[in-house]
Amino acid sequence: MTTIKGPAIFLAQFMGDVAPFDNLETICKWASDLGFKGVQIPTWDSRCIDLQKAAESKTYADELKGTINQYGLEITELSTHLQGQLVAVNPAYDALFDSFAPASVHGNSKARTDWAVQQLKYAAKASANLGLDACATFSGALLWQTVYPWPQRPAGLVETGFKELANRWLPILNAFDESGIDLCYEIHPGEDLHDGVTYEMFLKEVNNHSRACLLYDPSHFVLQCLDYLSYIDFYHERIKMFHVKDAEFNPTGKQGVYGGYQNWIDRAGRFRSLGDGQVDFKSIFSKLSAYDYKGWAVMEWECAIKHPEDGAREGAIFIKDHIIRVTEKAFDDFAGAENADELNKKILGL
């Protein structure tokens, strides 16, 4: 077994226009002062990283690492969530998702997809230059608008959608394989990979690609009423990243999983700061430790109620207190006898 690394923090929700959140150095000092040991980098934010430069220049990558290391922090992983989303976009969402890409490709879905694919390939090389072993992303979605279909889905629609999704991702997965990096899909509503079944459908289409791994975030499973503990039993061999994020689901006679088009504060299911929701993190950390998860525990803050700075301060302590320093010995070793063939045979009556 391996002791989980952490605590770490995903910087995406904290970057802003006001100090100390407006540049990489000051936000790293802030995170370090709170007790975090690692930072997960959003690659779409130029204040954090020049992704193309990190892919093409080992010198720049080393300098970036040095900037972060001077505050006692490590880079845990790069995140390509927004770019991954754009690898597969149904036309129904074109206008909404254009904002994830540069203005130069707005209104041109093919150019936007090509840009996103190139971004992912940059992320593979940048991760290698930074000495990382995993990268986070979203799968994108061609089928999400049919998740609860009316009228019914035409025969073969899902199969066609997943074949196309796989065709788009296979060259990217191969690029990550060439760089020695696991690409970890965050299983998330709004993505075609939103639960275990859809992940397995995708795996089949990409020929069980060894780099098609998982970012485990239990908050998205609470909101789907999915068993997030047995999920670890099913997929622990593929789980290479971990977002520590809390959530709660409180259905009423008026709304449930779909949320009634309400804002986050008024939904039956909503994200909460660590310790304020319903996720059983003691069991999660125990399971991941027992299955020898070797990665980081990274706090992601998305709370409908609490201030993010309070969520971060409390989150660092919460994760630290949940990390299990794994044992190197069995508790009953003191009572053990010498392991000898003759003794074993005697005990068995042989």
Residues 22-41 have a mean pLDDT of 98
pLDDT at site 186: 98
Examine the pLDDT at 335 and tell me if it is beyond 70: no
Confidence of residue 295 (pLDDT cuts 50, 70, 90): very high
Return the closest-CA partner of residue 243 out of 264, 263, 214.
214
Q: Is the pLDDT of residue 172 over 70?
A: yes
Q: Does residue 339 have a pLDDT over 80?
A: no
Q: What is the pLDDT of residue 279?
A: 98
What pLDDT score does 267 carry?
Answer: 97
Q: Is the pLDDT of residue 309 over 70?
A: yes
Question: 102-147: per-residue pLDDT in tens?
Answer: 999 999 999 999 999 999 999 999 999 999 999 999 999 999 999 9
Tokens of residue 101, six digits: 């890409």
Q: Which residues pair with 272 in a beta bridge?
A: 246
What is the reported pTM?
A: 0.95
pLDDT, tens digit (0-9, with 9 covering 90-100), for 224-263: 999 999 999 999 999 999 999 999 999 999 999 999 999 9
Mean pLDDT of all residues in the chain? 96
Residue 196, SS3? Answer: helix
**Which domains can be identified in the chain, with CATH numbers?**
5-347 (3.20.20.150)
Q: Evaluate if residue 331 carries a pLDDT over 80.
A: no
- Please give the Cα distance from 21 to 209 (Å, whole number): 38
What is the sign, positive or negative, of the torsion defined by CA atoms of 337, 343, 349, 350?
positive
Average confidence (pLDDT) over 313-317: 98
pLDDT classification of 318: cutoffs 50, 70, 90: very high
What does the pLDDT look like over 192-236, one tens digit per residue? 999 999 999 999 999 999 999 999 999 999 999 999 999 999 999
Tell me the DSSP string of 37-95: -EEEEETT-TTT--HHHHHH-HHHHHHHHHHHHTTT-EEEEEEEHHHHHTTSB-GGGHH
Are 43 and 83 spatial neighbours (Cβ–Cβ below 8 Å)? yes
- Joined tokens for residue 16: 């802003």
**Structure tokens that stand for 160 in this block:** 């066609």
Q: What is the pLDDT of residue 334?
A: 67
* pLDDT tens readout for residues 68-104: 999 999 999 999 999 999 999 999 999 999 999 999 9
Question: Binning pLDDT at 50, 70 and 90, where does residue 342 land?
Answer: confident
Range with the lowest mean pLDDT among 78-82, 108-112, 281-285, 330-334?
Answer: 330-334
Average pLDDT for 24-30? 98
